[in-house]
Amino acid sequence: MRRSHATTVSLLAALTLAACTNAKDVLEPSAIAPQSTQAVPTAGSGTAATATAPATTAQPSATAQSSAPAQPATTTVPPAKSAAVIARTRLQVAPIVGASVEAATPLTAQLQTRAKQRGITLAGSAGQTPTHVLKGYFSTMSEGKDTTVIYVWDVYDPAGNRLHRINGQQKAPSVNDGEGWAAVAPETMQAIADQTIDQFATWLGGQAG
């Protein structure tokens, strides 16, 4: 009975040793097969595949987008409004300063003619109240065979406030072999009258806006 018990103990010890040896072999790092670093999802598993986000293409900002520059709006005065302003105008021409009587006479006559052509009424001595007063200042400059007429016109309202200025110069060959106003032809003064009324009418039209 004692021998049988000893035999049983020996068998148990042998089995225990064998079990320990097998467990050691399983826990050795070299016995563990290398696992793939990329997880492959399987059907029904709780592991979800990680989706790689597509590269985002940068959209140009609104400020970077090229666009045609905005063109400034052009204000055009309707012809009807411009004509209405001109029709209401009563222009009085003050005595010319600086020019001789011989030179001022064709100038004044042409101012009246050109004003009528442009639809501008000249205020005379018939009791018409002027809306604008035109004052002219003239001088001459002789250079060789040419004489230049320099002129400045100031436009005033009836209260004496200056509203606009027109200035320029007209160069032409001297006449009568003279100098100063004696060398200025009537045609030169008539050309100045046309330019003056045209510029005045253009300015009036701009006031319609």
Q: Rounded to the nearest 10 degrees, how much is the dihedral formed by the CA atoms of 192, 196, 198, 199?
A: 130
Q: Angle formed by the axes of helices 79-88 and 186-207, to 10°?
A: 120
Give the residue from 143, 149, 154 showing the smallest Cα distance to 186: 149
Amino acid at 160: G
Q: How confident is the model at residue 21 (pLDDT cuts 50, 70, 90)?
A: very low
The CATH number of domain 79-207, selected from 3.40.50.10610, 3.40.50.300, 3.40.250.10, 3.40.190.290 = 3.40.50.10610
176 phi and psi angles, rounded to 5 deg:
60, 15
Half-sphere exposure of 20 (CA within 13 A, CB side): 6
Q: Give 150-197 pLDDT, tens digit per residue.
A: 999 999 999 999 999 999 999 999 998 888 999 999 999 999 999 999
Q: Domain map of the chain by residue range? A: 79-207
Backbone angles phi, psi at 120, to 5 degrees: -100, 130
- Please compute, for residue 84, the number of CA atoms within 13 A of its CA located in the half-sphere on the CB side: 8
Residue position matching structure tokens 């006031």: 207
pLDDT tens sequence across 199-209: 999 999 888 66
Residues recorded for the chain: 209
pLDDT of residue 139: 98
CB-based contacts of 57: which residues, under 8 Å, 6+ apart? none
Residue pair 183/140 in contact by the 8 Å Cβ criterion = yes
Please state, as a whole number, how many other Cβ atoms lie within 10 Å of the Cβ of residue 84.
11
Helices (H), 36-122: 79-88, 101-117
3-state helix, strand, coil in the chain (%, to 5): 40, 20, 40
124-159 pLDDT tens trace: 755 679 999 999 999 999 999 999 999 999 999 999
DSSP 3-state assignment of 133?
Answer: strand
* Confidence at residue 79, expressed as pLDDT on a 0 to 100 scale: 76
pTM of the complete model: 0.62
Q: How large is the C-alpha radius of gyration of the chain?
A: 54
Q: What is the pLDDT of residues 30-72, one digit of tens each?
A: 433 444 444 444 444 444 444 444 444 445 444 444 444 455 4
What is the pLDDT confidence band of residue 24, given thresholds at 50, 70 and 90?
very low
Q: Contact, 122 vs 112, CB < 8 A?
A: yes
Which position has the higher pLDDT, 132 or 83? Answer: 132
